[in-house]
Structure formats: C-alpha cells, structure tokens
Structure 1
Amino acid sequence: MKFARHGRPGAEKPIVCGADGQWRELAPVVRDVTADLLSRSEAELGLESLPVVTHLERFGPPLAQVGKIVCIGLNYRDHAQETGATPPTEPIVFLKAPDTVVGPDDEVLIPGGSQRTDWEVELAVVIGSRARYLDGPESALAHVAGYTISNDVSEREFQLERGGQWDKGKNCETFNPLGPWILTADEVPDPQRLGLRLRVNGRLCQDGTTADMIFDVAHLVWYLSQFMVLNPGDVINTGTPAGVALGSPELPYLRPGDVVELEIDGLGRQRQTFAAAH
C-alpha cells in the first residue's frame, strides 16, 4: 500500500492507496500516518469501506512524526568517483533534524549567503520496529516499514569549507523534501533494484540505480543499530548517485527560480521550486 498525507501545511489529512489504485481517506480509522500504521493490512484498515478522495490536494510529508533522520554520505560508487573521494570502508554518517522536512512539492529556500546549494535524490528508508544491536544484515529488513523519496539538499560551502561537521550544510530550513508517499516494504521485494533520476530545469543530472550502493539498505540498518537505537518513525537517507553539482563542473549550483524534479521507481515524483530565504 501507499500511505500519504494531503492538505495545506500543518493541516494534512492521512490517505491510503491500495490494490485498486484509489486514494482513500484514513481519517475515519486513524488520526495520522505514523510508523505503526504502515504494518496494517487492507483488511485491518477496512480499506474498501473508506471514502474515496474526491479532490487530491497538496502532498505533505508522508509521515506525521518523523524521528531522527540518519544520513549516509558517499554511498554510491559513481558519486564517490565524481567527487574524487576514496570509497569509504565504513558508512559515513551524519544527522538531519526533523524540522528540515517539507512536502515533496514545497518551496525550498536557498540560505542567505549561499552560492553552492546542491541537490541529491535519495532512497529514504522508514523504520517500522525498534532496531538495537541487530545480529546481522540478514535480519535488518524486517525492521523496515517502507520506502519514500528524499531530496537531501546540501549547501556545499557550509558543509565542506566552514569547519566542523557536515551538519552545517545539511540542516538549513526546508532542506529535506520527503514523499510524496511511503510505499510499504512488502511492495518493494528488493530495494537494491530501484532507478533514481533527478532533473534541474528539465536537464537530466542524476540517473542511477540503488544497485550501485556501496552499503546496501540491509547493511545500513544493521550497521546503524550498532551505534544508535533505530526507533519506529526514524528515517535513513541512504545516499545519492553521481550527477550533483559538487562533482560536475559544468553543472551550476541552484539559484532562485530553479526547478528540481526527482523520482524513484514506484515511489512517485517530487518537484520543487527554489527561492531565496529572507
């Protein structure tokens, strides 16, 4: 199933799409889309009895209570190569704050003083059950509730040239568009066989596959569980393929008015217009 939230910012309503392809209102049975909801079946929800959505509004972030957002850097072989970095032997980990999350088509703000705001299409993993000191990657995917799209927007000067940690270039307001929906894990038999694409002003910049990950989804969930507890509602941004401005001298960084469109097979599309922060 697909779970989403639609409506104006701050007043989104939960909706679900099942095998019949129709979006239905979830308000008669739940208050919002939370991690525990993602494990419920169509029968448990009484899907066929739920009212059909007659007017689909703006998609908001698909999860109402995002926990911590754990991000993985340099996790695609071609992205490491384009940036001149040595492929890591262990995952590179940093965090994004939940308040960076906006809807998939919401306006994204270029920070004051920024000259190097960049894009990153990423597969986002939604945790559905507590993962703590897992025995190995073979048990890790059982803790995944579903998958969605993230644009891990980054300011490269803040990230790489201003000292300290990457977090300064990753946590600017609106820097994590998420959605449009969460596709439940049972609908994604192999998360390492998904195509990812991103366009800037219609120009195809990123065209990759999750098969190119250095550390696959199962490995990441297991690995992270050795250092932190992954709780229901936590999100893992799993890295981006080649084609970002940082690694491509011919690609300009983002400016006000630029339009970024991104998609992942089966997970829908995002479209953001970038604007100057005031």
Structure 2
Amino acid sequence: MKLLRYGPKGKEKPGLLDASGAIRDLSGVCADIAGEVLSPNGLAKLAKLDPKTLPKVEGNPRLGPPVSGFTQLICIGLNYADHAAETGADIPKEPIVFLKANGAISGPNDDIVIPKNSSKTDWEVELCIVIGSKATCVGEEQALDHVAGYATGNDVSEREWQIERGGAWDKGKGADTFGPVGPWLVTKDEVPDPQALDLFCEVDGTMRQNGSTKTMIFGVKTIVSYVSHFITLHPGDIIFTGTPPGVGLGVKPSPVFLKPGQTLRLGVHGLGEQRTRTVAYSG
C-alpha cells in the first residue's frame, strides 16, 4: 500500500493511493496515519479494503508528511562510504546517530525555506524508515518486525551551522522545512529488499546525486536494531538513513549550496518523488 496525508498544513486527512494513481480518502476508516494504524494489525486491516469503495479525492491537493503522531526524527550520518570520503570524514565504525528537530518535517512538495543568515544550505536525498510498533533493544533478526514501511526523505542541512559552529550536528539540521518526507509511505510488503533501491537528486535539472542503498555502510536491519538500544522507537518515528555522494558540500573544487529560487527533484525508486523549490526566509 501507499499511504499518504493530504490537505492544508495542520489539517491533513488520511488517504491511500490506488492502482490508478488516484487518492482515496481514508477519513471514514481511520483518524490519521499514526499510532495503531501503523502496527501490523492496523496495516492488515487497511490492506483488506477495496480502494474502489473509498471516496475518490478530486483535484491535486497538497500532500503532507505521510505519517503523524511521531515522537522523533532520527538521522544516521555518513552512512555511505563514498559520501564520507567526499566530505573528508572517516568511515564510521558504528552508526552516527543524531536527531532532527520535529518541527523540521514538511510535505514532499512544500517550499524549502533558506534560513535567515544561512550561506551553506545543502541537499541530501535519503531512504526513510517509518516505525510501525514500539522497539526497545531489538535484535537485527527482529528489526523489520517493527518497520511499517519506507518513504523518500530530504535531510536538508546547513553546513556552516552543522560543522563550523561547534557542538552537535543538530543545529544544522533542524530548521523549519528541513525535513521533507513523502510523497507517501510505502508499506514494507512492497519493498522486498530495502538495500536494493536507487535514489537520486536533481538541482535545477542537473543530476547531483545518483546512488543506491546497496552501498550503505549500515543497512536497515542494523540501523533499527542499533538505534533501539539507545532510543526507544515508537509508531510513526522516522529514521533518515544517510545520503549517497553528490551533496553540495562535496562539489570540487568549490562547494555549491542552495539559493532562493531553485528547484529540487529527488526520489527513491518505488517510493515516489519530491519536487520542491527554495525560497528566502521572510520572518
């Protein structure tokens, strides 16, 4: 299934994408794509529905983040060896875990706001894991039991604030609109191998990133298990799993960063694409 949320920001309704690409309204079935709906039982109930019996949503509504009610946005840093190399960093021996402010999340096609006084805003296409059931200290062999599905994400980053301003990476990751997720949540039954997904990012029509999750240092099972030993995962929590090479910071001889008025198109194979534009901070 492809589950989504549509409508104005803060007033999104639950929906699903049918085989023809039309949005079907789930409001009569569930209040939101959150909590128990993301559990194995909850997803099984939705899977039994005939989409044709659900109201068809007309037009082209805004899409919000595909899940709500999450407690955490968690990120894995430097999870592709070639990306670590382009940034001049060592290959990590364990997953690098950091948090992205919950307020950073946005819809897949919402504008990305270049923050006030930012000079080094960068792009990062990523595979996102969406948690379906509570996970604490789980082994790798049980890790996927706690996954509801996957989504396309963009871990937008301000490199000066992340690297040059001291302290943790979080301050360069948490600005408003720095976490576009979606367009939809694809349930794990439709993603037989999350380590075999191509992903890409274009900026103003120029291909900047073109990679595959097969080159991850730490795969999905390892990430979910590892994080669960430090942070209890809850339904709806999103884990950004790292980005392949091609970020603006890694452009040689001089890095390239985002400016207002640019267009990004990015996606993960089978999980849908995002189309966003950058705008200036307006206060």
Give the TM-score, by structure 1 length: 0.95
Q: Distance in 2 between matches of 1:150 and 1:3?
A: 15
Paired residues, number: 277
Q: Is the 8 A contact 1:35 1:145 kept in 2?
A: no
User: Match for residue 24 of structure 1?
Assistant: 24
| Superposed displacement of residue 51, structure 1 | 1.6
Residue 30 of structure 1: CA displacement?
Answer: 1.2
Q: Which residue of 1 aligns with 2:6?
A: 6
Q: Deviation digits for residues 174-217 of structure 1, max 9, x if unmatched?
A: 10011100000111010000000000000000000000100000
User: Once the two structures are aligned, what percentage of the paired residues are identical?
Assistant: 51
What's the CA shift for 1:33?
1.3
Q: Pick from 249, 270, 278: which aligns with 1:266?
A: 270
Mapped contact 2:153–2:180 kept (Cα < 8 A): yes
One-letter amino acid of the counterpart of residue 189, structure 1: P
1:207 aligns with 2:221: no
**C-alpha distance in 2, partners of 1:192/1:23?**
28
Whether the 8 Å CA contact 1:6–1:56 is kept in 2: the answer is no
- Counterpart of 1:215, as a letter, is F
- After TM superposition, give the deviation of residue 53 of structure 1 in Å: 2.2
Alpha-carbon separation, structure 2, partners of 1:133 and 1:31: 30
Range with bigger deviation, 37-46 or 5-14:
37-46
| Residue in structure 1 matched with residue 164 of structure 2 by the alignment | 161
The equivalent residue for 2:77 is 73
Distance 2:278 2:26 in 1: 32
Q: Any residues of structure 2 matched to 1:165-176 within 5 Å, and which?
A: 165-176=168-179
Q: Which amino acid aligns with 1:100?
A: A
For residues 208 and 191 of structure 2, the distance between their equivalents in structure 1, rounded to whole angstroms, comes to 25
* Aligned mates of 1:187, 1:100 — CA distance in 2: 27
CA contact (8 A) 1:181 1:268 kept: yes
Aligned to 1:221: 224
Classify the secondary structure of the residue corresponding to 1:40.
Answer: helix
- Distance (whole Å) between structure 2 residues aligned to residue 105 and residue 66 of structure 1: 20
Aligned to 1:137: 140
**Contact 2:70/2:238 (8 A) holds in 1:** yes
Aligned-pair distance for 1:271? 1.0
Q: CA deviation at 1:76?
A: 0.6
Give CA-to-partner distance per residue, 1:99-131, whole Å, 9 cap, x none. Answer: 111111111111111110000000000000111
Q: Unmatched 5+ residue regions in structure 1?
A: none
Report the counterpart of residue 247 of structure 1 in structure 2. Answer: 250
Q: Give me the whole-angstrom Cα distance separating, in 2, the residues matched to 1:6 and 1:166.
A: 31
CA distance in 2, matches of 1:55, 1:13: 15
Query: Is 1:230 the counterpart of 2:233 in the alignment?
Result: yes
**TM-score of the superposition, structure 2-length normalised?**
0.94
Q: Is the 8 A contact 2:102 2:174 kept in 1?
A: no
Deviation at 1:17, TM superposition (A): 2.4
The farther-off stretch of 93-102 and 199-208 is: 93-102
Q: CA deviation at 1:171?
A: 0.6
Distance of aligned partners of 1:128 and 1:58 in 2 relative to their CA distance in 1, 3 Å threshold: same
CA RMSD of aligned residues (A): 1.5
Tell me how far 1:221 sits from its aligned partner. 0.4
Q: Compare 231-240 and 3-12 and name the one that shifted more.
A: 3-12
Q: Take 1:5 and 1:175, find their aligned partners in 2: how far apart are those partners?
A: 19
**1:254 CA displacement:** 0.3
1:141 partner SS: helix
The CA distance in 1 between the partners of 2:17 and 2:113, in whole Å, is 31
Structure 2: tracts of 5 or more residues without a match = none
8 Å CA contact retained: 2:108, 2:180: yes
- 1:262–1:35 Cα change, 3 Å: farther
Stretch of structure 1 that moved more, 46-55 or 263-272: 46-55
In the aligned structure 1, how far is the partner of 2:111 from the partner of 2:135? 34
